[in-house]
């Protein structure tokens, strides 16, 4: 291999090596940020009630939409929903026993109403 080719190949390899080291550093930095965020969130998950009470109103609404798929409503006596996120499903029976939440069966649309005659058949 002549000197010119050697310099060209080595230059490309050095450039590639620098890119690999930079990518590796970025991955490590991303992992560190991920773990920092996870460690910041875990204590909040331990006490969802406190976290919920300290959230601004728009975050409270987002949280409820996530937990109940935008289908939580109050019927005048208790809260009702056809959907509970699996994260909260284990608490559904306790909430039902306390009269705080009733899980309804989901409504299924079966199709159009059949045509009826004038005599009701």
Neighbouring CB atoms inside 10 A of 64's CB total 16
Looking at the chain, the whole-number percentage of residues with pLDDT higher than 90 is 7
pLDDT tens digits, 71-115: 888 888 888 888 888 878 888 888 888 888 888 876 555 555 556
Neighbouring CB atoms inside 10 A of 63's CB total 14
Closest CA to 75 of 105, 47, 100: 100
Q: Cα–Cα–Cα angle for 51, 55, 60, nearest 5°?
A: 100
pLDDT tens digits, 56-73: 999 888 888 888 887 888
How many residues make up the chain in this entry? 121
- pTM for the model stands at 0.45
For the chain, helix, strand, coil in percent to 5 are 60, 5, 35
Domain boundaries, the chain: 1-46, 57-104
pLDDT tens digits, 18-34: 999 888 887 777 777 88
């Amino acid at each position: 291999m002549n000197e010119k080719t050697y310099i060209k190949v080595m230059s490309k390899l050095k450039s590639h090596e620098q890119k690999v080291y930079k990518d590796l550093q970025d991955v490590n930095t991303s992992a560190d940020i991920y773990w920092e965020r996870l460690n910041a969130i875990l204590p909040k998950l331990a006490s969802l009630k406190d976290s919920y009470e300290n959230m601004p109103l728009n975050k409270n609404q987002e949280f409820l939409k996530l937990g109940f798929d935008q289908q939580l409503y109050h019927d005048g006596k208790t809260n009702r929903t056809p959907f509970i996120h699996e994260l909260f499903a284990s608490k559904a029976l306790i909430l039902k026993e306390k009269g705080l939440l009733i899980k309804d069966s989901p409504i299924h649309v079966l199709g159009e109403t059949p045509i009826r005659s004038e005599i009701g058949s």
